[in-house]
Amino acid sequence: MRHRGPPPTSFAVFLSTLRKREEAAALAVHWRVLESVGIANDKAVRKMTPVELGERLCAAFESYLACFPKSALDLEHLVLLVRGLEQADTIALSRCNHCEAVTLADLLEARRRLCSHCQGMADAAVPTEPRNSFSGIGEASQQELF
């Protein structure tokens, strides 16, 4: 099913789930690798024409799809991702603070940057409060005012 309508404009799509965050990181790595190969093959350092940029984006996305055929991301997401990585004010490639895996970082987020695997383990390790934990607190804290 091909995406219809306007292209995505918010980086939130990459950060909405751990899976999409990891898919976006993998897509960004494909872009960076193929972009650097293209730059290395250019004899003269020059700015890419729009056609060359489009060809490299297509090559990076085809390479990504060969590795991740069931990905929820499409070519328009790659265009948005590349723009976000070049602006470097909202998203960036980063490393997991625990295992050093490459991950997509939300630069506006204050919490530790973890990959999906480490985040899942951290979430599982946090003990959950019982649902009625507030019932005992209310009884103990209610005292006479005078």
Rounded CA-CA distance 146/137 in Å is 21
Residues that bind Zn ion (CB under 5 A): 96, 98-99, 101, 115, 118
Closest contact distance (angstroms) between CB of 82 and Zn ion is 24
**In this complex, which beta carbon is closest to Zn ion, that of residue 32 or of residue 98?**
98
Task: Pick the closer one to Zn ion by CB: 14 or 61.
Answer: 14
Q: How far is the CB of 71 from Zn ion (least distance, A)?
A: 20
Collapsing DSSP to helix, strand or coil, 92 comes out as: strand
Least distance from Zn ion to the Cβ atom of residue 13, Å? 22
Any idea what the Cα angle at residue 75 is, between residues 101 and 10, rounded to 5°?
75
Q: Between 60 and 96, whose beta carbon lies closer to Zn ion?
A: 96
Give the relative orientation of helices 75-87 and 18-41 as an angle to the nearest 10 degrees: 80
Q: How far is CA 90 from the centre of its chain?
A: 11
